[in-house]
Amino acid sequence: MKVKKGMYATYGGQYVAETLMAPLLELEKAYETLKEDPEFLAEFECCLKNYAGRPTPVYYAKRFSELCNLKIFLKREDLCHSGAHKINNVIGQALIAKKLDKKIVICETGAGQHGVATSMACAMMGLKCQVYMGTRDIERQKPNVIRMQLLGADVIPVESGSRTLKDAVNEALRQWTAQAENAYYLMGSALGPHPYPAMVRDFQRVIGIEAKSQISELEGRLPDAIVACAGGGSNAMGIFTPFLNDKVELIAVEAGGISSDDAQKQGMKAPHAIRLTNCDVGVFHGMKTRVLQDRYGQILETTSISAGLDYSGVGPELAYLVDIGRVLPRSAQDGEVLASFEILCKTEGIIPALESSHALAYAMRACDAGDLEPGAVVMINLSGRGDKDVNTVIEQRRLGN
């Protein structure tokens, strides 16, 4: 698919304040040059291998497969250094920051995995790191907050709005505007103004490139389907992209949150974070995309047990791929996410992130829903490990959820 100035049909673009156009154009020019530079690519690949620990394995989850009536292979991004796929993109962007001679790296984080990965890369490359994080996410992701601080990052609490990822992005963008000359904004997902969606996708596509080779070696063919959770879209686009021209079903699983009745009781405006279906188009965080909003265009606060999927918008390319029917959008509610989290722990000895558990939850009902045939070969992108979520799971048990 050809992209015209960062557009995916009607999605994408650069909807930012005039003060940010200069650094965006500087970044765009640098990336267009560096992505074809053999020396830069060699340095990036060296860091992926020797620092991030790539390639990550593909694991046949035999006991979990039996429960799903599918043949499930897990792409083990949880085994990356930092515990998630985020490190792939972070290394690439941190190298660009160095090439641009920026001294400060600014980022946002929800689940904390992007913040941890950015903190690690900045420590390794000698860059100052500022991480903006909503106070609600700080409360439910304390282990990752401690990790970021140990790595030398300044974790800056955001008190505005819903105190989650949306508000952390808002504040990070404001701070970038104020420090643009010396600072680099390191976007964590395949969203925001061009060139971020394309750049993040390109740095994450190593997941799908590896997965394609690995599943072909294990099964002698490509999978019937690939499943990934979808917040902004970095892990989904990372594994989907190399398969876009193949006869493989691509399934993006969003945060279904809680029931409408429970949301109403708790005074919540949006009981979920489902953006890929029945959601209006709007401008949000520098891009035109599908956004949860009210009839006046005000952004709605979302609800999800997973901090990393608790976001009101979605990456423009992922929205486009759903529109043209190449990606099938699905969702999973908090209750079934918790159940699949515990089931993978007990059947495979793997503690998954709650974000990744959305993909697992979908797989557990895909046959009953008629989406997949029994025995189908399915790859799930296990985008992160769940150490960070243990306190959340314990709290949900205490509440009887």
Q: In what order do the strands lie in the sheet with 128-134?
A: 154-158, 128-134, 104-109, 183-185
Same domain, 219 and 294: yes
> Which residues does 31 contact at the CB level (< 8 Å), separation at least 6?
96, 195, 199
Q: What pLDDT sits at residue 321?
A: 98
- Which residues are bridge partners to 74 per DSSP? 59, 380
Is 179 domain-assigned? Answer: yes
Is 101 domain-assigned? Answer: yes
Same domain, 114 and 218: no
Same domain, 183 and 223: no
**Burial of 67 (C-beta count, 10 Å sphere; 0-12/13-18/19+):** middle
- Compute the 3-state secondary structure of the chain and give helix, strand, coil in percent, each to the nearest 5: 45, 20, 35
Is 215 domain-assigned? Answer: yes
Rounded percentage of the chain residues whose pLDDT exceeds 70: 96
- Which residues are bridge partners to 290 per DSSP? 281
Same domain, 279 and 384: yes
Catalytic residue list contains 108? yes
Task: Kindly report the pTM of this predicted structure.
Answer: 0.94
Catalytic residue list contains 259? no
The catalytically annotated residue of 28, 71, 75, 86 is 86
Is 332 domain-assigned? Answer: yes
Same domain, 337 and 324: yes
- Residues constituting the chain: 401
CATH number at residue 389: 3.40.50.1100
> Which residues does 2 contact at the CB level (< 8 Å), separation at least 6?
none
Range of the domain at 230: 54-83+204-398
Identify whether the C-beta of residue 282 lies closer than 8 Å to the C-beta of residue 288. Answer: yes
Same domain, 66 and 135: no
Catalytic residue list contains 269? no
Q: 3-state DSSP call for residue 129?
A: strand
| Domain end call among 168, 200, 232 | 200
Is 5 domain-assigned? Answer: no
Q: Which residue has the tokens 């003060």?
A: 19
pLDDT tens digits along 215-267: 999 999 999 999 999 999 999 999 999 999 999 999 999 999 986 666 555 55
Q: Which helix (H) or strand (E) holds 106?
A: strand 104-109
pLDDT tens digits along 44-82: 999 999 999 999 999 999 999 999 999 999 999 999 999
